[in-house]
Amino acid sequence: MNSFTRSLWKSLKCGRAAWPRHSSARAAEQHSPRLVLGIETSCDDTGAAVVDESGAVLGEALHCQREVHLKNTNCNSLFFLTRTGGIIPPVAQQLHRENIEQVVKEALSVSGVSVNDLAAIATTVKPGLALCLGVGLEYSLKLVDKYKKPFIPIHHMEAHALTIRLINQVEFPFLVLLLSGGHCILAVAQGVSDFLLLGQSIDIAPGDMLDKVARRLSLSKHPECQSMAGGKAIEHVAQAGDWRCHTFRVPMQHYRNCDFSFSGLQNLVNKVIIQQEKEEGVQEGELLSCAKDIAAAAQHAVAVHIVKRTHRAMLFCIKHSIISPKNATLVVSGGVASNQYIRKGLQIVADANGFAFLCPPPRLCTDNGVMIAWNGIERLRAELGVLNCTDGIRYEATAPLGIDISKRVEEDSIKVPRLKLKI
Ligand code: KG4
Ligand code: ZN
């Protein structure tokens, strides 16, 4: 952690963060800066934050359900586990219901503002777990109605993509890679609500895969990983492992597009786990002595797969002048983007292609209310999707991000040169 992230983290813990400010935003601030309350409930985090036009986070609060779900998944509810990567939607919904009021109140009180002071309320309405989105939307609409405030519906992945602009001055267009528990997306951000979709996962997301591998390896029984998210636990134990002990075939090598696939890789990892359990005479549910090597090898294969698809996206964007080589930037966000090993691989490919590489601090890569409030500010400034009437507003479990040009990418069939990935 560098001194900047350290001080950011410290100030966040105190509720107030001195975020760097944009010059354009500074001008707006000289009048009275507008404030947006952001509310996030799309998955297993209940988050709220107040952010002003200059990008200052006045206060935030977050209730994380991870430990509850970790305990529940140890008792196995297979239907939900396979579909939602360890989160049991009705349980998540109930926890959001129990916590949303307190989380919003805390964010407001730490900020020292009342709902009356807000310019708008921004809330994640898509994509995500339907039951969970419903809690945030219902609560927000009550506030909007009671205080007569404008409402800004937020696309969760757009929020992840724009978070970087809260802390760095990144101009459009930029290449963005979103890696989370529910998504894997490569896109070009051309404007606040203007994205070109280059590729996405055709099955599960990398976070989902890493969570499943972590569960299959019983990493929650590892003394150092008990309350860690699966992907984080994989990263943690992999530090002591050797990825060369097991070689997993990198997915989709023969498909020259920017799509991703992780479920085949997950099956390969499972097979190795079963084989090692036999060899070590260990029952499923117990820790393998070689768990760290399997974790390292799985993480390595995930990293190489992600890096190769991102490399092709860079070449495609430069070839078609979608991004200028003079100020090309790769932004990576989402929970899995806090993985240092994957970041290192992406840094190598960015350096090799003349792209600046930017990633929000880990705290802002995972779900939080700040990113939703900031997306609200971006939309407020651009006058995009700020609603004074909320009739007919619905949540949507699935929602594409931008215009899909993935077929066009595939038609180009760009060959990615070999890169030495000494991560
Ligand atoms: O973006 P996020 O907080 O929620 C979703 O929208 O999905 O991402 C959560 C995902 C989980 O799958 C979690 O295991 C993964 O991010 N994750 C990590 C790390 N920290 C969280 N994966 C790999 N390495 C990490 N350090
Ligand atoms: Zn997310």
The CATH label, of 3.40.50.10490, 3.90.700.10, 3.30.420.40, 3.40.50.2020, for the domain at 174-362+402-412 is: 3.30.420.40
Answer for the pair 409, 260: CB distance below 8 angstroms, yes or no: no
For residue 390, how far is its CA from the centre of ligand 1 (angstroms)? 32
CA distance 264 to 233: 21
**CA of 230 relative to ligand 1 center, distance in Å:** 8
**Structural domain spans, the chain:** 3-20+35-168+366-382, 174-362+402-412
What pLDDT shows up at residue 367? 94
> Residues near ligand 1 with C-beta < 6 Å?
43, 180-182, 207, 210-211, 229-232, 235, 334-336, 338-339, 366-367
In angstroms, what is the span from residue 366 Cα to ligand 1's centroid?
Answer: 6
Q: Any alpha helices (H) in 127-192, and if so which ranges? A: 130-147, 156-162, 164-167
282-305 pLDDT per residue, tens: 999 999 999 999 999 999 999 999
Reported as a single tens digit per residue, the pLDDT across 357-413 is 999 999 999 999 999 999 999 999 999 999 999 999 999 999 999 999 999 999 999
- Supply the residue whose CA is at minimum distance from atom 19 of ligand 1: 232
pLDDT of res. 228: 92
Task: Pick the atom of ligand 1 nearest to 299's CA.
Answer: 23
Q: Read off the pLDDT of residues 62-100 as tens digits, 9 standing for 90 and up.
A: 999 877 776 665 544 444 444 455 689 999 999 999 999
pTM for the model stands at: 0.89
Q: Atom 3 in ligand 1: which residue has the minimum CA distance?
A: 366
The fold adopted by the segment(s) 3-20+35-168+366-382 is: Nucleotidyltransferase; domain 5 (3.30.420)
Residues 6+ apart with CB under 8 A from 80: 87, 88, 89
List the residue whose alpha carbon is closest to atom 16 of ligand 1. Answer: 335
> How far apart, in whole angstroms, are the C-alpha atoms of residue 208 and residue 229?
10
Ligand 2 (ion): residues with CB under 5 Å are 180, 367
The reply to whether domains 3-20+35-168+366-382 and 174-362+402-412 share a CATH topology is yes
Of all protein residues, whose CA lies closest to atom 10 belonging to ligand 1? 181
Q: Whose CA is nearest to atom 25 of ligand 1?
A: 232
Q: Which of 17, 35, 33, 37 has its CA nearest to residue 25?
A: 33
pLDDT at position 72, please? Answer: 63
Amino acid at 88: I
